[in-house]
Structure 1
Amino acid sequence: MKKIKSIIILAVLIMSLFNSCKEFDSDFLETPAKSTLQESLIFSQVDLARGAIDGILEPIGQTNSYRGRHIPFYGFNTDTEWNYNSSSVGNATGDLMVYDAKANNTQMNRTNSSWAMIYRAIERANICIKGIRLYGNPEVGNEMGQLLGEALTLRAMYYSDLVKTWGDVPALFEPTTFESAYTPKSSRNIVYKQIIADLAEASELVAWPNESSATTSVEKVNKAFVKGLRARVALAASGFQQFPNDGVRRSNDPDLSVAKMYKIALDECRSIINSGTVGLEPSFETVWRKLNEENISAGGESIWEMPFSDGRGRVNFSFAIRHRSVDQHTGQARGGISGPLPTVFYDYDEADSRRDITCVPYQWGTAIDGFSKQELVSLDIWYFGKYRYEWMNRYVTSSNDDGINKMYMRYAEIILMAAEAANELEGPSAAAPYLKQIRRRAFNAADHATKVDGYVNALTTKEDMFNAIVKEHKYEFTGEMERKQALIRWNKLGTNLATAKQKMLDLKNRTGEYADVPTTLYYKYEADEETLKIYGLNRGETTNPGPDYFSKDWTVIEDDVINSLFKEGVNPDDRQFWPIWQVFIDSSNGTLVNDYGY
């Protein structure tokens, strides 16, 4: 059955563990609470402990948490993706995207925003971890061991998101007490080292996908996710990042060196690969059809998904191809708050099957008698084709939620992390088989000799292989909002964003690498009278295909739109993180401050 069953009921159970009269007034972190159910009772019984663990995930569905703010807004803008609020000058949502967020941002400066909800979840995880250790007798292979591993993993997931969003944050790894409630920020190195160790422990406790009844769904934590998250965190910990008063650099903590962290990443990725418990889907389209069809069976490409019930979550609501009205595919007229940069479509090899899934040049127009057609938009507006109401098996009727899960990690990331780490530690020949595996799926068999083997075999230096991996990441993950974190750790955020602006100017002017992009599109409708047939998107398609086609100018990209990728005069490398929102600064009893010039 789809979704974590009865998660609200389970959350009520754990809330009874947390709720009590507050001993002091604080919105900074969750306040300590006296249990109304004995911890010894809850954490000595598997069913009750399972309810407590499920309660750790409940905060993601809160209105201003991951559901309505963090998932839709974090991760923009990059060299591949932008949010269409960016061009609205002074818009609070746009400020989050253009590297000009303020601590009093009206979208985020709320007591129930993701900062608070993440710490609520961490507090629940801390209580579960302590309770299971004390009363649950967790061991490798038993159910309590699985639950402890899940709690450690979920806490690590939340902390990894805190650090990538805000940099240094309060490190709380025990249930909150009066003394710890007003905790100042800690070095992110402390957080990184703790969660890397936690994930190592969790990987011993948690079962592989489909190895037990607890790991048959991608909504449940499994060993592949634990190891993949550990690899992701290790790469981030050793990567470039902005430090207070110290600019962008790698960590100077020897425990987080490139050599040590890349070794962890490579070992974990190879362990996942060798397990055979997950793997690439046969086609790129299948990955996204399964997400939209809400297929949550473990063992495919999706490794772990943030679960949303049918009436919660805004993944398609935010990112799907735009539907201008209720129509034959959806009862929710939404989607399309963001999309790929217009250059991205033209950066793909035309034979790459990922291109037309990732970059869509049309919307669904206003319906007539409940029926709508695809309509071309404009050169500067594209949509992510990975998210589609028309691929869902369920007709969405909610006004503002769609219930599609957030795919948090998939196997393709494991393969590319293995390629990156192998290249760094062992050289390009060790990375080549991984890069070939990703590209082999992207191209038809007839193209493998040139576009897979020939292309990869020519990458004979570590630098060439690294640059190819950076490009492949773009082709594989555009629209998944993973790019920003990757650009930061590669020390390419500011440089690539500046280059992206220039590339869009070149496309507008049809100069440089975009000189041969056609300036006119031709289109007609297929026999179903809703699906567009388009000519002129590919380079060289400049001849009118016939009188039954309509034409559309394909040149307009306004300079102010191009410049909205990031605020003029702002260096994105000086704004890699969001500020801590003012409401939490004000309620921190003077222990929290903002860095980075905020």
Structure 2
Amino acid sequence: MKHKIIIAGLALATFFTACQELGDDYLEAPAQSTLDESVIFSTPGLAKGAIDAIKVPFGETNSYRGRFIPFYGMNTDAEWYNNSQSVTAQSDLATYDARIDNIQMNTNDNAWASMYGGIERANIAVKGLRQYGNPLPGTEMGQLLGEALTLRAIYYADLMKAWGDVPYRFEPINNETLYLPKTNRDIIYKQLIADLGEASNLVAWPNESSETSTVERVNKAFVKGLRARLALAASGFQQYPDGIRRSNDPDLSVAKMYALALSEARSVIQSGKAQLNATFEGFWKNVNQDYIAAGGESLWEIPFAEGRGRVLYSFAVKNQSPNQFQANGTGPGGTAGPLPTVFYDYDEKDTRRDVTCVPYRWGTAVSGIAKQELVALNTWYFGKYRYEWMKRRVTAASDDGINKVYMRYAEVLLIAAETANELEGFGAAAPYLKEIRKRAFAAADQATKVDAYVNALSSKEAMFDAIVKEHKFEFTGEMERKQALIRWNLLKAKLDESKTKMTNLRDRANEYIDVPATLYYKYVKDVANESKYAGQDNTTILLIYGLNRGESTNPGADYTAFTWNNLNDAKINSVYKTGANPDNRQFWPIWLYFISNSNGKLVNDYGYPNQ
């Protein structure tokens, strides 16, 4: 059964006062704890509650739950906000046109504030455990210190991913540190990388102890994977106040950071403590079914209780109304989806394609039962998130309780491939890329689609390009693509390429000349003759012909034709706002509320105003 970790720390939440860069009404010296810290952080049960309390901000209404997870990561060459062409506060966040007074974000309890709230809780826990807990490797207190360090790193990693340079807070607040200016992110990255190095020596491998038996607790495989991810981000291209470049800090050079990332990735791979799920679809079914056992593909997940979190509510295949699968509000899912071209970027035999890209929604229910129905070419849904895969029925108004997968083993393999290619050559990268692709293709296709495909990559440049593509095939819908494109210095180039590709798809020109403009569908009638659908309801499931290239012949009178286009210039160009430059808007602005209540310490860069 899924643990209710996200609310487990509420009883201890009063131990902490968090500076959230808010203002005089909130920024006060830390209150005296209800229990003395010497008692809390020397008592394992109480200390664990303090660590659980660090996670509480993940589930706060305007934090990760309702703001950061639904909006960070849009728009890329893989995914976009499905109403990007509209003029709303939500679309502005996605289309590189965020304003400092954005009504979704410009509140005193928003993601920026909640992240610093989590950091303050972590700071208090780190200090307390060091002072009173004797946190040695292999001990429960050591595990807890490692978790506190890692959770703090998660909050900081996401702050820098969204805002670039941010204030440096690694000690509990005092009267002298109520207001702080921004710090060069290089300094913060170095601190996080050091912290995670310490944490990796404190926490256990998955299933090595009772504390690491689920993916809702921090384990060594995740810490090492996160450290590798941050090493790549720190050494990669990104927008600094003086332009787009790599770090000037020699400690964050490509040579040093790629070597660190490769070492950490190989450590995870060689440990045998994590592994790819047998099938791509099987992994995502597990996620939707609240499967949280450690030791598989998922390395760590943001834990949500059953009545909290909006992963499916935001990203699932669209449901027009409550139906046989859910009663999660009036029409949940579908706020974002793959770009229309992504389906055609995949090889037709790639089993990830139909899991990732869904061209239908669940229509309005009749007598409680909904059927699948086709949607226009300009609107696709993420098939990784599906109410129909859940084992429980969601009845909350806007929360579903599905965890957010924060990192999985597939990313470790791609990190190993990318860094090995850079440092040791394309031959050293090949085994890692092959392992990813082997899971994606049936055994009969692997000689061609895995071995021959990878063996043909005979240069560093060819291998890198293949890794960039594979990242898209593997992670579309997980909102990991944006930071990757930024660190590769490919953000605007790939967005512009996507505009061109969508125009060609609309016109059925160039690489899309063989994509049908008409789909044909029927509801599955004879389950016995449609083995793909065996065991499924035969009155609600669509059988679609015409999605694949070259499928242009009417398959028969029992099919209904569906004109499939509706991809116009407004939709195509909305991948980023007209007149915007994504490379100059890699980060969101610091919201006006926090600027105004920072005692003059916080200012915006990147051309954003301060008032």
TM-score by length of structure 1 reads 0.98
Of 392, 395, 402, the match for 1:404: 402
1:315 is the counterpart of 2:324 = no
2:23, 2:599 within 8 Å by CA — same for their partners in 1? Answer: no
> Is the partner of 1:342 in helix, strand or coil?
coil
Of 181, 201, 211, the match for 2:208: 211
1:286 aligns with 282
Judged with a 3 Å threshold, the aligned counterparts in structure 2 of structure 1 residues 238 and 26 are, in CA distance, closer, same or farther, namely: farther
Judged with a 3 Å threshold, the aligned counterparts in structure 2 of structure 1 residues 17 and 555 are, in CA distance, closer, same or farther, namely: closer
Q: Deviations over 1:297-345 (max 9, x none)?
A: 0011111000000110000000000000111111123100010000000
Q: Deviations over 1:517-565 (max 9, x none)?
A: 0111000001311000000000110100000000001122011011111
Shift of 1:572: 0.2
1:102 is the counterpart of 2:99 = yes
Shift of 1:36: 2.4
Judged with a 3 Å threshold, the aligned counterparts in structure 2 of structure 1 residues 474 and 23 are, in CA distance, closer, same or farther, namely: closer
Shift of 1:19: 8.5
1:159 is the counterpart of 2:169 = no
Q: Could you tell me how far apart the structure 1 residues matched to 2:83 and 2:243 are?
A: 28
Judged with a 3 Å threshold, the aligned counterparts in structure 2 of structure 1 residues 430 and 366 are, in CA distance, closer, same or farther, namely: same
Q: Could you tell me how far apart the structure 1 residues matched to 2:523 and 2:7 are?
A: 46
1:4, 1:219 within 8 Å by CA — same for their partners in 2? Answer: no
Q: Could you tell me how far apart the structure 2 residues matched to 1:524 and 1:19 are?
A: 56
2:473 aligns with 475
1:19, 1:35 within 8 Å by CA — same for their partners in 2? Answer: no
Judged with a 3 Å threshold, the aligned counterparts in structure 2 of structure 1 residues 142 and 349 are, in CA distance, closer, same or farther, namely: same
1:269, 1:417 within 8 Å by CA — same for their partners in 2? Answer: yes
Alignment of 1:417-436 (within 5 A): 417-436=415-434
Shift of 1:85: 2.7
2:361, 2:372 within 8 Å by CA — same for their partners in 1? Answer: yes
Q: Could you tell me how far apart the structure 1 residues matched to 2:163 and 2:18 are?
A: 28
Judged with a 3 Å threshold, the aligned counterparts in structure 2 of structure 1 residues 9 and 224 are, in CA distance, closer, same or farther, namely: closer
1:16, 1:36 within 8 Å by CA — same for their partners in 2? Answer: yes
**Larger displacement relative to structure 2 (464-473 or 554-563):** 554-563
Of 545, 569, 581, the match for 2:591: 581
The gaps in structure 1 that reach 5 residues or longer are none
> Is the partner of 2:326 in helix, strand or coil?
coil
1:280, 1:412 within 8 Å by CA — same for their partners in 2? Answer: yes
Q: Deviations over 1:110-138 (max 9, x none)?
A: 00000000000000000000000000001
1:133 aligns with 130
Q: Could you tell me how far apart the structure 1 residues matched to 2:219 and 2:57 are?
A: 20
Shift of 1:23: 13
> Is the partner of 1:179 in helix, strand or coil?
helix
Q: Deviations over 1:248-269 (max 9, x none)?
A: 1100100000000001100000
Q: Could you tell me how far apart the structure 2 residues matched to 1:540 and 1:512 are?
A: 14
Q: Could you tell me how far apart the structure 1 residues matched to 2:9 and 2:448 are?
A: 54
Shift of 1:594: 0.4
Judged with a 3 Å threshold, the aligned counterparts in structure 2 of structure 1 residues 338 and 19 are, in CA distance, closer, same or farther, namely: closer
**Residue identity matched to 1:305:** E
1:3 is the counterpart of 2:13 = no
Q: Could you tell me how far apart the structure 2 residues matched to 1:136 and 1:130 are?
A: 10
Shift of 1:9: 5.1
Judged with a 3 Å threshold, the aligned counterparts in structure 2 of structure 1 residues 324 and 24 are, in CA distance, closer, same or farther, namely: closer
Judged with a 3 Å threshold, the aligned counterparts in structure 2 of structure 1 residues 153 and 19 are, in CA distance, closer, same or farther, namely: closer
> Is the partner of 1:524 in helix, strand or coil?
strand
> Is the partner of 2:177 in helix, strand or coil?
coil
Q: Could you tell me how far apart the structure 2 residues matched to 1:126 and 1:498 are?
A: 42
Judged with a 3 Å threshold, the aligned counterparts in structure 2 of structure 1 residues 517 and 203 are, in CA distance, closer, same or farther, namely: same
Structure 1 vs Structure 2: percent identity of aligned residues? 65
Alignment of 1:11-26 (within 5 A): 11-18=10-17, 25-26=24-25
**Residue identity matched to 1:573:** D
Of 557, 563, 585, the match for 1:553: 563
Q: Could you tell me how far apart the structure 1 residues matched to 2:425 and 2:14 are?
A: 51
2:184 aligns with 187
Q: Could you tell me how far apart the structure 1 residues matched to 2:145 and 2:484 are?
A: 30
2:16, 2:124 within 8 Å by CA — same for their partners in 1? Answer: no
Q: Deviations over 1:55-94 (max 9, x none)?
A: 00001111000000100000000011000231112x1111
1:368 is the counterpart of 2:345 = no
2:342 aligns with 344
**Residue identity matched to 1:37:** L
Q: Could you tell me how far apart the structure 1 residues matched to 2:453 and 2:105 are?
A: 45
Task: Report the count of equivalent residues.
Answer: 593
Shift of 1:35: 2.0
1:171, 1:186 within 8 Å by CA — same for their partners in 2? Answer: yes
1:542 aligns with 552
Q: Could you tell me how far apart the structure 2 residues matched to 1:476 and 1:23 are?
A: 39
1:11, 1:52 within 8 Å by CA — same for their partners in 2? Answer: no
Shift of 1:30: 7.6
**Residue identity matched to 1:122:** I
Of 251, 261, 268, the match for 2:264: 268
TM-score by length of structure 2 reads 0.96
1:319, 1:383 within 8 Å by CA — same for their partners in 2? Answer: yes
1:296 aligns with 292
2:308, 2:399 within 8 Å by CA — same for their partners in 1? Answer: yes
Of 310, 323, 326, the match for 1:327: 323
1:17, 1:37 within 8 Å by CA — same for their partners in 2? Answer: no
Q: Deviations over 1:122-155 (max 9, x none)?
A: 0000000000000000101111000000000000
Of 519, 526, 529, the match for 1:521: 519
**Residue identity matched to 1:447:** D
**Residue identity matched to 1:386:** K
> Is the partner of 1:381 in helix, strand or coil?
coil
1:223 is the counterpart of 2:220 = yes
**Residue identity matched to 1:202:** A
**Residue identity matched to 1:322:** K
